[in-house]
Copies of this chain bind each other. A is one copy, B any other.
Amino acid sequence: MRAAVFQQPGLIEVVDRPDPVIRDSTDAVVRVTATCVCGSDLWYFRGLTPRQHGQTIGHEFVGVVEAVGSDVGTLRVGDFVIAPFMWSDGDCAHCLFGAPTSCTRGGIWGAPGADGAQGEAVRVPFAGATLVTVPGGHPSAELIPSLLALADVMGTGHHAAVSATVVAGGVVAVVGDGAVGLCGIIAAQRLGAERIIALSRNPQRQALAARFGATDIVAERGEDAAAALAELTGGIGVDSVLECVGTGESMATAFDIVRPGGSIGYVGVPHGTEFPVPRMFGGNIGVRGGLAPARRYLPELLTDVLAGTIDPGAVFDSRVALEDIARGYASMDDRSSIKVLVELSLSV
C-alpha cells in the first residue's frame, strides 16, 4: 500500500509499505476513506518533537472494514467506521473509568510499530472496542468530513469544554482558532453556553467561529486580549476557558480571563506551560485537560452529526490527495489552511 512517512523535519513522503494484515484475533484492517493533517503533526514536521526517519504518521481516519479477526464480534466487513486517534481495549480499569487514552494496552496511530492514519489501510488493535460503526451503510461524501472530525478535533474540542465545566447559560472563552478551538465553540454551543467569546484575528476563522456559535470575537492577543475580555465581561472574567493552543502565552491568557471559581479546560499539548499555583488557589480556579477520550465521546457526538445539529467537518477548508499530502502539511504549517482533508476514496 501507499502511506505517508516522516523522513526529516519539513520532509513528508508517500512510500510503499506492507499491506496491513490481521495479526491478533482482536484486530481489524480498515481501508482508509479519508484522513487528515492535525495541528499536532506540525510538531514533528517542524522538528520540535522527535520522530524516526521513515516513521508512519497521522492519527485520524475513517474507512471501511476490510478484514476482522476471529474475536471481533461487533464489526463486519464493509462497515464504515470512525477510528478515534488512539486505540484502546475497552475493558481495562482505565477504559472503564472513562480514560481510554490511558488504556494499559492502548496506543496511538503512527507510533513505532503501528500503522499511521495517513495511508491506504490501517491494522486496528482491539478493533471491537476501538472503532465506532456509522449506522446506515457508507455515508455520503458530504458527511465524511464531519465524521472524520470526530476522530480527533471535535472530540478534543468537546473535551476542552467538558474539562472547563461548560454549563447551560455559561460564559465561555475559546483561546485558539485552529480546528480544535473552532470545534470547542461547537461543543460550548452544544452544551448550552449563553455567550461564547472566540479569540481570533484571522477573518476566515472569525467567520467560521461565528457560524459555529461564537457570540463575540476578540482579535487582540496577550494582555490586550485580557483587557478586551475584561471589558466584555464587566471586569468579572469568564466562567470557562477552553485553552486550545498549548503554549505558555495562551495558558497565561487563559488565567488572565478566567473568573474566580471558574475553570480552564486545556487540550493543546503543553509546551513551556506552567500553572500559577497562588493564582489558582487564591481564585479557586480549576484546571483539567489532556488527551481527549475521543472514543468515549464518539457515540454522542456521532448522533449529533447524523442528526445534522453539528457540522464540525466545516473546519476542513482544503483537500489534497494522499500523494500530495506534503502540500497539506505545508499549508497547515503556514496557516493558509485551517485543516487539510486527505481524500482517498470518499465515495462508495
In angstroms, Cα B267 to Cα A280, docked, is 11
* Bound CA–CA A275/B288 (angstroms): 12
- A99 at interface, CB cutoff 8 A: yes
Determine whether A203 belongs to the interface, using a CB cutoff of 8 Å to chain B. Answer: no
Interface positions, chain A 77-104, Cβ under 8 Å from B, are: 93-94, 97-99, 101-102
The docked-state distance in angstroms from the alpha carbon of A293 to that of B263 is 16
* Cross-chain contact B288 with A287 (CB below 8 angstroms): yes
Task: Determine whether the beta carbon of A97 is less than 8 Å from that of B261.
Answer: yes
Which residues A169-184 have CB closer than 8 A to chain B? none
With A97-B261, A102-B261 as given contacts, are A291 and B287 in contact (CB-CB < 8 Å)?
A: no
Chain B residues contacting A293 (CB-CB under 8 Å) are: 261, 284
**Interface code A283-303, partner B: CB below 8 Å = 1, 0 otherwise?**
111111111010000000000
A308 within 8 A of B: no
Q: Indicate which residue in B102, B239, B281 contacts A284 across the interface (CB closer than 8 Å).
A: B102
Q: Is the CB of A274 within 8 A of B273?
A: no
Digit string of A268-279 for contact with B (CB within 8 Å is 1, else 0)?
Answer: 011001110110
**Are A284 and B290 in contact, with the CB atoms below 8 A?**
yes
Task: Name the B residues within 8 Å of A280 (CB-CB).
Answer: 287, 289-290
Report yes or no: A283 in contact with B102, Cβ–Cβ below 8 A.
yes
A304 to B290, CA, bound (A): 37
Q: Are A270 and B278 in contact (CB under 8 A)?
A: yes
**A230 CA to B179 CA in the complex, in Å?**
39
A277→B273 contact, CB < 8 A: yes
Given contacts A97-B260, A97-B261, 10 further A-B contacts (CB under 8 A): A94-B259, A97-B259, A99-B259, A99-B260, A163-B286, A266-B281, A270-B278, A284-B288, A284-B291, A287-B287
| 6 residue pairs, one from A and one from B, having the closest CB atoms | A99-B261, A286-B288, A102-B260, A284-B290, A99-B260, A275-B275
* 12 sampled A-B residue pairs with Cβ under 8 A: A93-B234, A93-B236, A94-B259, A94-B261, A97-B239, A97-B261, A102-B284, A269-B281, A270-B277, A270-B281, A284-B288, A284-B291
